[in-house]
């Protein structure tokens, strides 16, 4: 089943590319849509054991030799955390297809090939428990996203694509060096090569070596998150990417960075992570405030949403390094909630640009009169993004702040200022684009049926997770509990032990 989760989008990608030149085949967008629906059904079928209570931490696992000489194996495993993120990936993949339905008109088959290959790489990242295999999937998801931005992007797409690739590929090389260093130290200690996640959690590292190797992982994941000051590639990539590319970037690719911090950085290097935690949490708070202030100053619709992503993902960094049960659950919920609300805002930004041929909010105004349903969607997801109680983002941010308060009161108070600023830029987004006097006399088309269906689906999930978050929290809880227990088993300092055992 785990292999099929990766194979299905790969096969769908190849079929979509081949269908571009075969008139009797279904249109590539239909192939992509059907592929992702099958993927979503498959991952939901794996969710069934979660409700029975008759399972361990790992719902499914596969381990096969790959390069035995160097201890490299094809090791995939699925727990509640991976399950939630893969389900989010499949859902937002469907949303991305809907957003590209009309927008993409050239080299359509190749576009959906790259889209599905990106998602296949992301799913591999969420499943891989061999660190070498993890790096392979990490690289797989970058190349097709580069093509999506550089071929189907907007005015400065080449610059944005190269910047995206340099930042993500360069930081990935830091992670590769760190993986090799960790495996080499383990080889010196044990006499055998391995890249297996469970084996490398128990490597005896000196404090200095643990810190430097941890920083290699941290840089790679912080760039992808993105955390301040590694965030500068994000606004350009989001602004120049086609709508579907922005949806996948914000909703899925950023989550791979957060997942890496949660799965690898702290469990592999608990002592080093604890010593580094004050600095990492400070970067998280700086990102929250800095992203919010820059979002407040934007006139470009997509750049405003892009900088808001920097702010919201700062809560994830804060929650991971607070490392208690509230903060970790909040970080997971924030990853999911941000994926839904920000993907919706980017899709709406693309729809507006497609109709008005501009992203500049100074040239908008009064759009509610001609596009009331789209205006209602922008208003809903803007207030969802700012953390309105009853919606998913509020749950994530509240739990992160609650967990951070128990670790560092000052940082928790400063992070609250980011929520206050979010209210300002979210409401300005709505006011500048949809309120006021109309800037033109031409009536613009409102949401089409497939766009309305995509928006409605994301509204349902945002409200459901806001009113009943316990389902998602229960799904992630066994995985988070196991990671906290593994950290404690490595005999960390008393402060980290307190965070790990915190109820």
pLDDT at 81 over 70: yes
pLDDT at 386 over 90: no
Contact (CB, 8 A) for 132 and 194: no
Give me the mean pLDDT over the 139-148 stretch: 92
pLDDT score of 131:
94
Average of per-residue pLDDT values in the chain: 88
State both tokens at 74: 């094809």
pLDDT score of 494:
52
Give me the mean pLDDT over the 110-130 stretch: 95
pLDDT at 51 over 60: no
> Looking at per-residue confidence, does 285 or 486 come out higher?
285
pLDDT band at 442 (very low <50, low <70, confident <90, very high): low
Give me the mean pLDDT over the 20-43 stretch: 88
464 closest CA partner among 348, 309, 340: 340
- 62 DSSP 8-state letter: E
How far apart are the C-alpha atoms of 151 and 158, rounded to whole Å?
8
pLDDT score of 437:
75
pLDDT band at 284 (very low <50, low <70, confident <90, very high): very high
Is pTM beyond 0.85 here? yes
Give me the mean pLDDT over the 302-310 stretch: 90
Give me the mean pLDDT over the 59-75 stretch: 90
Give me the mean pLDDT over the 47-63 stretch: 71
pLDDT at 206 over 90: no
pLDDT digits (tens, 9 = 90+) for 310-367: 999 999 999 999 988 999 999 999 999 999 999 999 999 988 888 888 888 888 878 8
Q: How distant, in Å, are the alpha carbons of 154, 398, 470 from that of 84?
A: 32, 20, 13
pLDDT score of 35:
95
Name which of 35-44, 284-293, 423-432, 439-448 the model is least confident about. Answer: 439-448
Give me the mean pLDDT over the 482-492 stretch: 76
Q: How distant, in Å, are the alpha carbons of 56, 95, 125, 173, 258 from that of 469?
A: 22, 22, 25, 37, 20
**Is the omega angle on the peptide bond into residue 287 within 30 degrees of 0, that is, cis?**
no
Give me the mean pLDDT over the 441-455 stretch: 79
pLDDT digits (tens, 9 = 90+) for 94-104: 999 998 888 88
How far apart are the C-alpha atoms of 270 and 256, rounded to whole Å?
20
Give me the mean pLDDT over the 403-410 stretch: 92
Angle between helices 142-152 and 108-127 (to 10 degrees): 150
pLDDT at 391 over 70: yes
Give me the mean pLDDT over the 212-220 stretch: 93
pLDDT band at 485 (very low <50, low <70, confident <90, very high): confident
> To which H or E segment does residue 47 belong?
helix 28-52
State both tokens at 26: 């279904």
pLDDT score of 486:
79
pLDDT at 287 over 70: yes
Name which of 20-29, 260-269, 312-321, 469-478 the model is least confident about. Answer: 20-29
pLDDT at 501 over 60: no
pLDDT score of 500:
58
Q: How distant, in Å, are the alpha carbons of 49, 341, 380 from that of 457?
A: 24, 11, 13
List the helix and strand counts (H, then E) for the chain: 22, 2
DSSP per position, 413-456: HHHHHHHHHHHHHHHHHHHHHHSSS-S-SSPPP---HHHHHHHH
Cβ neighbours around 482 below 10 Å, total? 17
pLDDT score of 63:
92
pLDDT score of 426:
86
pLDDT score of 128:
94
pLDDT score of 498:
58
pLDDT score of 461:
93
pLDDT band at 297 (very low <50, low <70, confident <90, very high): confident
pLDDT at 495 over 70: no
Give me the mean pLDDT over the 153-179 stretch: 91
Cβ neighbours around 187 below 10 Å, total? 15
Question: For the chain, what is the largest distance between any 2 Cα atoms, rounded to a whole number of angstroms?
Answer: 75
Q: Which of 354-368, 385-399, 425-439, 440-454 has the highest mean pLDDT?
A: 385-399
Q: Residues of 298-335 as b/e, b for ≥16 C-beta within 10 angstroms?
A: bebbbbbbbbbbbbbbbbbbbbbbbbbbbbbbbbbbbb
- 25 DSSP 8-state letter: S
pLDDT at 50 over 60: no
pLDDT score of 448:
84
pLDDT score of 32:
93
Backbone angles phi, psi at 77, to 5 degrees: -155, 150
pLDDT band at 502 (very low <50, low <70, confident <90, very high): low
How far apart are the C-alpha atoms of 78 and 83, rounded to whole Å?
6
């Amino acid at each position: 089943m785990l292999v099929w989760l990766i194979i299905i989008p790969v096969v769908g990608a190849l079929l979509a590319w081949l269908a571009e030149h075969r008139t009797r085949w279904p249109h590539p967008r239909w192939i992509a849509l059907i592929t992702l629906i099958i993927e979503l059904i498959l991952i939901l079928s794996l969710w069934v054991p979660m409700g029975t209570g008759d399972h361990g931490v790992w719902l499914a696992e596969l381990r096969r030799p790959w390069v035995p000489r160097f201890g490299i194996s094809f090791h995939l495993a699925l727990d509640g955390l991976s399950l939630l993120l893969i389900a989010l990936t499949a859902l937002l993949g469907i949303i991305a297809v809907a957003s590209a339905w009309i927008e993409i008109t050239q080299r359509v088959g190749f576009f959906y090939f790259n889209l599905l290959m990106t998602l296949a790489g992301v799913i591999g990242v969420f499943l891989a428990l061999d660190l070498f295999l993890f790096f392979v999937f990490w690289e797989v998801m970058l190349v097709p996203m580069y093509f999506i931005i550089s071929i189907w992007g907007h005015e400065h797409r080449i610059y944005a694509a190269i910047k995206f690739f340099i930042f993500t590929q360069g930081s990935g090389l830091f992670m590769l060096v760190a993986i090799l260093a960790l495996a080499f130290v383990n080889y010196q200690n044990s006499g055998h090569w391995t890249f297996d996640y469970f084996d490398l959690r128990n490597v005896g590292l000196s404090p200095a070596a643990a810190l430097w190797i941890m920083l290699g992982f941290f840089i790679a994941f912080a760039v992808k998150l993105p955390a301040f000051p590694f965030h500068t590639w994000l606004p350009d990539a989001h602004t120049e990417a086609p709508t579907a590319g922005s949806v996948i970037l914000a909703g899925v690719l950023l989550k791979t960075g957060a997942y890496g911090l949660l799965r690898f950085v702290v469990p592999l290097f608990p002592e080093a992570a604890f010593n580094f935690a004050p600095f990492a949490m400070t970067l998280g708070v700086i990102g929250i405030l800095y992203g919010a202030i820059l979002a407040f100053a934007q006139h470009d619709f997509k750049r405003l949403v892009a900088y808001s992503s920097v702010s919201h993902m700062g809560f994830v960094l804060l929650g991971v390094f607070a490392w208690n049960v509230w903060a970790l659950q909040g970080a997971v919920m924030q990853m999911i909630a941000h994926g839904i609300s920000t993907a919706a805002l980017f899709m709406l930004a693309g729809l507006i640009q497609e109709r008005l041929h501009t992203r500049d909010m100074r040239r908008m105004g009064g759009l509610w009169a001609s596009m009331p349903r789209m205006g209602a969607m922008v208003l809903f997801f803007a207030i969802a993004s700012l953390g309105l109680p009853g919606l998913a983002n509020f749950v994530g941010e509240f739990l992160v702040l609650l967990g951070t308060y128990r670790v560092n009161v000052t940082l928790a108070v400063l992070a609250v200022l980011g929520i206050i600023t979010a209210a300002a830029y979210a409401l300005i987004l709505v006011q500048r684009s949809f309120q006021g006097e109309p800037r033109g006399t031409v009536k613009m088309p409102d949401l089409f049926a497939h766009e309305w269906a995509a928006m409605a689906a994301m509204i349902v999930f945002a409200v459901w997770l806001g009113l009943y978050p316990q389902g998602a929290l229960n799904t992630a809880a066994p995985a988070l509990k196991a990671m906290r227990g593994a950290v404690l088993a490595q005999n960390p300092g008393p402060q980290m032990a307190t965070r790990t055992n915190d109820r």
